[in-house]
Amino acid sequence: VGSNNEFWCWLVGALHRAVLKGLGKKDKRRGRTVFTEAFEGKVKVRTVRAKEKERVEEEEDEKNDSILSNGASSKAKSSTNDDIEIEETTVSVPFLQLTVDIPQKPLFKDDSKGGLVIPQENLTDLMKKFDGNTVIDMIGRKGGREKKQYNISHLPPYLVLNLKRFIKTKFGIEKNPTIVTFPVEGVDFKPYVAKTEGEEDLDVDEMKVKDIKSLLSEMGKSPKGAVEKDDLIKIAKEALGKRYKYDLVASIAHDTPTNVGRETASNPITEGTHRVHARHQASNQWFEVNGQKVESVMPQMVAVSEAVVLVFKKQN
């Protein structure tokens, strides 16, 4: 499937490599560019897989055990708990975007108005995939079953979410039309971020002035304008409150023609169209870009479109 996910990874990767070529030797060794600084975060992935222990019996013995005399049927092999070992790994994986799964839901007919009722999902519910507790069953690369848990360990200045709408099935490419709702301002991603050591014990009111200034420096905040300790505490609390909060600055929506899914259409990606929503920072006005047509749009309309990509900017 030629998805938005693949295009985004290719685009940022190509731009990153192009910029890296023009840097000096010292910066090249760091391997960092404006693109990785802006979009790269980290997520902890815990994987639990069950696999059979290696058999120590000789091949000939297994053959002999499986054949009975007098034409009787062979023994059925059975696995016991002693034959299974649990393998658990936890790794920190860098990302340029996070893929958010949208559950498949049936469409219902609206008897009063006619047509179909499109299901809705809230972004906060879908993001529970990254809360560190939700267990996801999947098939691993080697064909075995795995259980995975995801937890964000580092949030980037710009967080890109890829809403997984397109699925490749034996019947072709299908699109999930579920509307994903979300606020355009003040989205709190703290529930999906792994707590750092000592974070819960952080009490700004009890901290010394030098410690508060050090905390502000770590968050990239200046204590400028603070005269008393109370002023520093106020600035620190405000910065901590915005530490995990993001505002939407852009999104990409995909519109499917009404005949897609019927006999006359087969691929919603190629037969559909994309629209871009972007927020003008100075005026806080939202605009919709559709080909050469640009017009203002209400933010409420952005939040109920069939979005496939969401770009959030950290408040602080």
Averages of pLDDT over each 10 residues, the chain, 316 residues: 71 87 75 88 91 53 47 44 76 93 76 69 94 89 83 94 86 84 92 71 77 79 79 81 89 74 59 88 93 91 89 90
Collapse the DSSP code of 203 into the 3-class scheme (helix H, G, I; strand E, B; otherwise coil) and give the result: coil
Res 144: pLDDT: 76
Q: How many CB atoms lie within 10 A of CB 266?
A: 13
Name which of 141, 97, 110 is nearest 5 in CA terms: 97
Res 167: pLDDT: 81
Res 107: pLDDT: 66
Res 192: pLDDT: 94
Res 172: pLDDT: 76
Pull the structure tokens for residue 32: 């960092």
List of residues 6+ apart from 37 with CB closer than 8 A: 157
List of residues 6+ apart from 83 with CB closer than 8 A: 52, 53
How does strand 98-101 pair with strand 158-164? parallel
Instruction: Give the separation between CA 254 and CA 178, rounded to whole angstroms.
Output: 12
Res 83: pLDDT: 63
For residue 292, which amino acid is it?
Q
Collapse the DSSP code of 231 into the 3-class scheme (helix H, G, I; strand E, B; otherwise coil) and give the result: helix
Using a cut of 0.85, tell me whether the model's pTM lies above it. Answer: no
Spatial contact of 144 and 49, defined as CB atoms under 8 Å apart: yes
Res 254: pLDDT: 87
What DSSP element (H or E) covers 96?
Answer: none
Collapse the DSSP code of 147 into the 3-class scheme (helix H, G, I; strand E, B; otherwise coil) and give the result: strand
Spatial contact of 117 and 181, defined as CB atoms under 8 Å apart: no
Pull the structure tokens for residue 160: 């890109």
